[in-house]
Chain A
Amino acid sequence: MANSVLAPARASEQVEITRWDVQRRRTWVLFLIPALLIYTIFMAFPLFNSMRLSFYQGQGLTPDRYVGFENYVTLFTNPLWRDRFFNAVGNTFVFFAIHMLVQNTLGLLFATLLSNTRLFARNVYRAIIFTPATMSVLVTGFLWTLILNPRWGMLNQVLEWVGLGALARPWLGDANLALPVISLVSSWQWVGLPTMMFLAGLLTISDELSEAARVDGASAWQIFWRIKLPLLRPTIGIVSVLTFIGNFNAFDVIFAMAGARGEPAYATDLLATFFYRTAIAGEHPVAQPNMGLGAAVATCTFLILLTGVSLWLRFGRGGEETLAG
């Protein structure tokens, strides 16, 4: 990515600027205008303007009274908001940690197994692993809510049939279990993405490297740890940062499985559900949308994301360049 940004586009363009070039350049500007306009008006501008609005308060849709850092002070110190906010931040980190641990580890495992080109039916396995990712998060969320339902749900029934009835419990009703269970459902849904990315990464590693190591007497295990894993570092970095961005934006799965309040008792409340309630739906017991405060929540989420991505650019990508060089 870094190379393509800086590399000269075309050597053939290194001719002196003529009238012809000026004309071409004018056409290119025209070509850029629609994309630039729609991207700026509906993505870049709202993003920055929302941050500006975090310094305002107002009725309903129009935060128009400048209040400086008051929204942030409320968010960080007012007990009603502070507890909810830090609870949501903590839950989001737990949600992210479980995805890293379960979704991405399984993805790496499946990709390693699928990278064996002699494997029978590998395309079938690959298609199955990716299937849940094509479905709406909302649909899989509701589906799992039905499966995990304590009264009628199939999971508890199956546990009873196989003699593990003691394990049956209200999976989504227990404040200690709900967040891990929902994180696992979300990992179930998305494991296909890291699998594909790791697989693509593994397939670019030349077979000759593993062959050479095998000839030198290395076991499959050693080849994985000493050769493949280090060479996969750039992909691991990209998968991690994409998981991070996706998880800090996750909303649908909580909305489907635990409602907009992140039940039970806010145990599954993430930054996105908290943002939704604050800005759009109204936070209990106030039940009045507060756009200025919502903008402050979005800005905090943005800053957390920015920190994570910067760390990745500083360290993760650094590794990639070291390897490439």
Chain B
Amino acid sequence: MTRRFSPGMIVTHLVLLAWSLVVLIPVWTMLINSIKPKREIFRNPFGLPSEITLDGYSNAWTAGRFDLYFRNSIIVSVASLLLILLFGSLAAYALANWRSRLSSILYIYFIAGLMIPIRLGTINLFQIIQSLGLTDNLLGLIPIYVAMGMPIATFVLTSFIRSVPAELSDAARIDGASEWRVYLSVILPLIRPALATVTIFNLLPIWNDLWFPLIFIRNQEARTVTLGVSLLFGQYQTDWTRALAALSMAAVPVLVAYLLMSSQFIKGLTAGAIKG
């Protein structure tokens, strides 16, 4: 039994503390310097600011149009996630109940996407989005993200629905419930934790995606936060306050959400990992 102050425990803490510093110092540097006046950043890069300025933020928010980019990112992420959850849970319900050769093949077809990055199909996607008239349009990103989310959604949700005792659905069916009813009233409430896991798995890659906005979005009105950072950053290379404010603005919402939900978040991730 390892006791609290055994030598092993002290070494464990030293290793973990050292890495925590390696993680936290850069993040701290970004946040703290984004509210310092320019001169102070180099004199005192790690300490608290003597004077707080929000110039970097207001510059990036209004002149940099981050208000618009945030709105766009939220629209794309929420719409994609809702569709992933809806389509994914419907398909998973069918795959979990339907026992046939065809449904096994379909299941493998879906989860094969876990192994193959969608980006490799970019060239043809470019043509498809173009022919749908959706280049330079936020709406063009949504179907791509939904397709990208299907493998993980069907994988996690199918195995979760299979673990729901069959008696529950069968009892509802004997009472005369249709499949729609069973899905809505029995299965959906029971798989809420799995829906949370799927949301977590898809939120970060969608919110943080650079590749598809970079290729499909030229119009400023349709830029996402990540694309906004990539375009804005070059201009502010020498203005550290502004550059760090722009980076903080892109990172802080996700960071806060993560810190608030971190235990739930990690539970979701490890649940997924165990199932994998």
Chain A interfacial positions (CB closer than 8 Å to B):
1, 4-6, 8-13, 24-25, 27-29, 31-32, 34-36, 38-39, 41-50, 53, 61-62, 106, 109-110, 113-114, 116, 118-120, 123, 125-140, 142-144, 146-147, 152, 154, 157, 188, 196-197, 199-201, 203-204, 220, 235, 238, 241, 245, 248-249, 251-252, 255-256, 272, 275, 279-280, 291, 294-295, 298-299, 301-302, 305, 309
Contacts and interface: CB of A to CB of B under 8 A. Distances in A.
B156 to A, nearest CB: 11
A128 B259 CA distance: 9
Interface of B: 2, 4, 8-9, 12-13, 15-16, 19-20, 22-24, 26-27, 29-30, 42, 45-46, 83, 86-88, 90-91, 93-99, 103-104, 106-111, 113, 115-128, 130, 143-144, 146-148, 150-151, 153-154, 158-159, 162, 166, 170, 178-180, 183, 204, 207-208, 210-211, 214-215, 225-226, 229-230, 233, 240, 243-244, 247, 250-251, 254-255, 258-259, 262-263, 265-266, 269-270, 273-274, 276
In this complex, which of B12, B46, B170, B250 has the most chain A Cβ atoms within 10 angstroms of its Cβ? Answer: B12
A304 B172 CA distance: 49
A34 B115 contact: no
Please classify the interface of chain B as helix (H, G, I), strand (E, B), loop, or mixed, using the class held by over half of its residues.
Answer: helix
B226 A41 contact: no
Contacts of A29: 94
Contacts of A12: 166, 170
24 contacts: A5-B104, A6-B104, A28-B103, A31-B90, A31-B94, A34-B86, A35-B150, A46-B124, A47-B118, A48-B121, A50-B124, A53-B123, A61-B126, A62-B127, A106-B19, A116-B12, A120-B4, A125-B20, A129-B23, A131-B258, A138-B226, A196-B266, A220-B8, A249-B117
A283 to B, nearest CB: 15
Contacts of A248: 117
Contacts of A299: 120
Given A31-B93, A120-B13, A154-B45, A42 B125 contact: yes
B166 to A, nearest CB: 5
B25 to A, nearest CB: 9
